[in-house]
Amino acid sequence: MWNRREFLRAGLCAGAAMALAGCRMGRDAEEGEDAMEKLITTLGPLEASAVGMILPHEHVFVDLRTPDVPGQGEADAQDVVALMAPELEKARAAGVTAIVECSPEGVGRNAAILKAVSEAAAYPLVAPTGIYREPWVPRWAQEASEDALHEWMLGELQGEIEGSGVQAAWIKLSAGDDGITEIERKILRAAARAGAETGAILGSHTRRGRVLHEQLDIVEAAGYTPERFIWIHAQNDTLALNLEVAARGAWIEYDAIGGGREDAFWIGRIQAMLEAGHGEQVMLSHDRGWYDPAKPGGGTPKAFTYISEQFLPKLAAAGVDEATIEMLTATNPFRAFAR
């Protein structure tokens, strides 16, 4: 993890990357303003025609120890490759064409490891910038100003993550279960500003939905829009609140399919969102994986295949047509994460 000196030095590098990106954006504007949106991945940008089913919330590498624990977020890349590349290959065989990796700063994000796994499996991953909630916020981020955090995120969205060669595609955040804290507010304001400048979507791990309206208010006050905000783990609150937040324009992500609840629960939520006219705002995932450096050998991963192999046939049997399933699993996540 960075100390404060490394953070400030990286900020200078980010500034250079931003300047270069600004030049590129200027040239693009001269060439035409209708450039096709692309999904930014560890294997480069991909157009919609190059991908199909996308899982919007999974993990390849996570360390849920707090950043002050020695060795947090560290592992031998080849050990991670050996465990996780076969899982990506299984996902491909099940029809999944890309996976959004949802581990931000604070929970062991390691873009160099993601790149190594991605390249070994020839499989695109979608990596985030952003910072998890307290007590996982690193000390450098606790001390940083909102402006400094904004510049850091902007640098990763327009350049690369920590010299890894991986460009961040989106912004992952979180909010405390008992309400958003002042530090989390600062991070969210910085993220909303960076999102507004790049078009990158924000996703928040928010298990208790009572803070969602406050989060959306902060996003709007910072000059961005709820249409570029994902309520991650939306299944953990009521359908009524899912519908209420969707009415403000936010994305609703159901992302624990295949774990804990019966499939009938998920089918009911999806049908209710479709009936309410919010189908174009719904995404489906597992929240599975992953290599955990705190466990011997990285632990035992859970496959990224349940939705493809078991859930979608049940959803179809419940009356959801093929075009709608394609919207939920391919069109929607591409629209959400592409820019």
Dist CA 170 CA 232 (whole Å): 13
**Mean pLDDT taken over the chain:** 91
Residue 28 has pLDDT above 90, yes or no: no
Average pLDDT over residues 19-44: 61
Residue 15 vs residue 4, higher pLDDT: 15
Amino acid of residue 160: E
Nearest Cα to Cα of residue 281 among 38, 37, 56: 56
Can you read off the two tokens belonging to residue 318? 């419940």
Residue 11 has pLDDT above 50, yes or no: no
Average pLDDT over residues 299-321: 98
Give the CATH number of the domain where residue 99 resides: 3.20.20.140
Give residue 209's pLDDT band: very low, low, confident or very high (50, 70, 90).
confident
Sheet with 125-126: list strands edge to edge: 53-58, 96-101, 125-126
Give residue 20's pLDDT band: very low, low, confident or very high (50, 70, 90).
very low
Which stretch of DSSP H or E encloses residue 284?
A: strand 282-284
Average pLDDT over residues 284-293: 97
pLDDT tens for 129-176 read 999 999 999 999 999 999 999 999 999 999 999 999 999 999 999 998
When divided into structural domains, the chain yields a total of 1
Residue 3 confidence (pLDDT):
42
**Domain interval for residue 281:** 4-337
